[in-house]
């Protein structure tokens, strides 16, 4: 018999469970960004600001392509979470097999096309001519690594849907350590390794992801995890039509949300490119700092979505609302605790990526002071969108995101650029983020997301009542439920 989930998120104190479940996700996010920052230090300090600017351009395309299949993995996670919450292990395994076949197959197609389109995609972003060869050399290798990155991300999300956030974190650490170790070896050609320059940083990512993915697969097989599918389960890899339909109808819109974010990032990068290499390098360095600021909200949102999905499956709607309130509270506490020191110490932190005497360094500080506050507001939208998506309400968050990014942020940056110059780009972040927070809170309070369903594959145990109290999330609400019993972990079979 396969092992059962290691943690139930349908019982126990909400605050404690959400925090313990989100901490490994946060740790993984920090490790990933630390990995990117260390690699950026190697590139920026030893290969030059042009190489750092080239990677900033290439990474925007990479995020776009990751986002294009992200929604399918998120839909699978919600379906698995609902099935686990309802106690339907067979359905969870069916979702796992169908999702893996569809998700990984699609990622291979996207990556194959990307290898040939790398230069054209960079040119479409108005990448400066002097950066194009460097960015192309890096991006082509990243495309080769895409299927490995997709597979690892999908498995991690599926495990979290089953209530296990620790295992993905452990193997993510393996990937990060290997990537950091391989970077200088392949960039500079140390020892038996070839000297590959900027492409060496991408090859380090490919090797690290491949090794970590194999390790995760062997671990799941050895532990006989509930989601491990062996030779006897090959039939489960044949896509189930109900699951496939749900993955497409719900996953594609959620993936579109990530694509829209990535496209907005590309649009902003295109605007920034007009101001020259110094500004591009400054923006790239600021992005490295911002990666850390948005991590708490992203981790809490991912944990809240999984916890809400399990409780939707179990029919515990009071816990779904409590999860939303607690997630918003944690976002304000954790994100706010990062912003202030990063403002006070940004002269030092930015000097990790840029020469402190350079013009780009001062530009980066100016950008940081204006835009970093936006992540406090954007985090609220992350958390609330994660909760409402757990029921299958995937379209309203997209509409709100379209309005925030393409109705406010990009037009603001474009239209006010003649008046404010580059500052129009930086101010567009807090303005659009504040609007997104207000829209998300309004929809959570008055929207009909509780009545949404994931489709034919929805496995919730109890239908939502026709009238459910709609308590708006408050950043000062008590995150714990004192009447809950202590968490009882499910035992492995």
Is-contact 298 22, C-beta < 8 A? no
User: What was the pLDDT predicted at 182?
Assistant: 92
Residue showing tokens 């090959």: 234
Q: Report pLDDT digits (tens) over 116-164.
A: 777 777 877 777 777 777 788 888 888 888 888 888 888 888 888 888 8
User: What was the pLDDT predicted at 400?
Assistant: 92
Domain coordinates of the chain in residue numbers?
20-451
Task: Report CA 448 to chain centroid distance, whole Å.
Answer: 26
Which DSSP symbol is given to 8?
-
Is-contact 459 79, C-beta < 8 A? yes
Nearest to 487 by CA among 1, 15, 75: 15
What proportion of the chain, given as a percentage, has pLDDT over 90? 19
Question: 52 is written with which tokens?
Answer: 């750092």
Q: Report pLDDT digits (tens) over 158-180.
A: 888 888 888 999 999 999 999 98
User: What was the pLDDT predicted at 231?
Assistant: 82
DSSP H stretches of helix in 47-165:
49-85, 89-124, 132-161
User: What was the pLDDT predicted at 25?
Assistant: 87
For residues 19 and 16, give the distance between their C-alpha atoms in angstroms, rounded to a whole number: 5
Within 13 Å, how many C-alpha atoms sit on residue 322's CB side?
23
Q: How far is CA 263 from CA 171, 269, 290, in A?
A: 30, 10, 18
Nearest to 82 by CA among 463, 474, 485: 463
Q: Which residues in the chain show pLDDT less than 70?
A: 1-8, 45-46, 49, 64-69, 455-493
User: What was the pLDDT predicted at 279?
Assistant: 87
Using alpha carbons only, give the angle 401, 402, 407 rounded to the nearest 5 degrees.
120
- Taking the whole predicted model, whether its pTM rises above 0.85 is answered as no
Is-contact 169 234, C-beta < 8 A? no
Neighbours of 330 (CB within 10 A): 26
For residues 436 and 379, give the distance between their C-alpha atoms in angstroms, rounded to a whole number: 10
List the helix and strand counts (H, then E) for the chain.
Answer: 18, 0
For residues 292 and 253, give the distance between their C-alpha atoms in angstroms, rounded to a whole number: 27
For residues 337 and 349, give the distance between their C-alpha atoms in angstroms, rounded to a whole number: 16
User: What was the pLDDT predicted at 338?
Assistant: 86
């Amino acid at each position: 018999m396969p092992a059962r989930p290691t943690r139930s998120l349908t019982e126990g104190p909400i605050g404690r469970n959400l925090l313990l479940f989100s901490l490994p996700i946060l740790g993984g996010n920090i490790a990933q960004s630390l990995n990117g920052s260390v690699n950026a230090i190697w590139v920026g300090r030893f290969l030059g600001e042009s190489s750092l600017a080239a990677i900033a351009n290439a990474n925007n395309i990479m995020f776009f392509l990751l986002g294009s299949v992200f929604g399918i993995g998120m839909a699978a996670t919600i379906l698995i979470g609902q099935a686990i919450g309802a106690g339907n292990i067979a359905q969870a395994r069916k979702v796992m097999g169908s999702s893996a076949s569809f998700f990984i197959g699609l990622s291979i197609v996207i990556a194959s096309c990307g290898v040939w389109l790398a230069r054209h995609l960079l040119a479409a972003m108005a990448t400066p001519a002097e950066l194009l060869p460097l960015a192309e050399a890096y991006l082509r290798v990243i495309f080769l690594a895409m299927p490995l990155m997709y597979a690892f991300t999908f498995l991690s999300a599926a495990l979290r849907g089953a209530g296990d956030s620790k295992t993905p974190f452990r193997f993510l650490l393996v990937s990060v350590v290997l990537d950091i170790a391989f970077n200088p070896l392949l960039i500079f050609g140390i020892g038996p390794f070839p000297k590959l320059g900027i492409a060496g940083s991408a090859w380090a990512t490919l090797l690290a992801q491949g090794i970590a993915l194999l390790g995760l697969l062997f671990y799941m097989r050895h532990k006989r995890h509930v989601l491990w599918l062996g030779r006897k389960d090959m039939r489960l890899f044949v896509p189930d039509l109900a699951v496939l339909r749900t993955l497409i109808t719900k996953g594609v819109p959620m993936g579109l949300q990530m694509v829209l974010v990535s496209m907005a990032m590309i649009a902003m990068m295109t605007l920034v490119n007009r101001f020259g290499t110094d500004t591009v390098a400054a923006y790239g360095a600021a992005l490295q700092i911002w990666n850390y600021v948005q991590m708490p909200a992203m981790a809490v949102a991912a944990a809240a979505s999984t916890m809400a999905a399990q409780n939707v499956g179990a029919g515990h709607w009071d816990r779904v609302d409590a999860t939303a309130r607690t997630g918003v509270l944690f976002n304000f506490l954790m994100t706010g605790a990062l912003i202030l020191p990063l403002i006070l110490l940004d002269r030092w932190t930015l000097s990790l990526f840029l020469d402190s005497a350079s013009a780009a360094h001062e530009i980066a500080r100016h950008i940081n002071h204006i835009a970093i506050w936006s992540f406090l507001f954007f985090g609220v939208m992350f958390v609330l969108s994660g909760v409402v998506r757990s029921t299958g309400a995937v379209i309203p968050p997209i509409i709100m995101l379209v309005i925030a990014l393409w109705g406010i942020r990009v037009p603001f940056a474009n239209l006010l650029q003649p008046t404010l110059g580059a500052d129009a780009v930086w101010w567009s972040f807090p303005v659009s983020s504040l609007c997104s927070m207000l829209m998300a809170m309004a929809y959570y309070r008055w929207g009909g997301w509780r009545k949404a369903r994931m489709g034919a594959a929805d496995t919730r145990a109890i239908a939502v009542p026709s009238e459910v109290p709609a308590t708006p999330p408050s950043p000062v609400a008590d995150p714990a439920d004192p009447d809950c019993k202590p968490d009882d972990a499910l035992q492995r079979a």
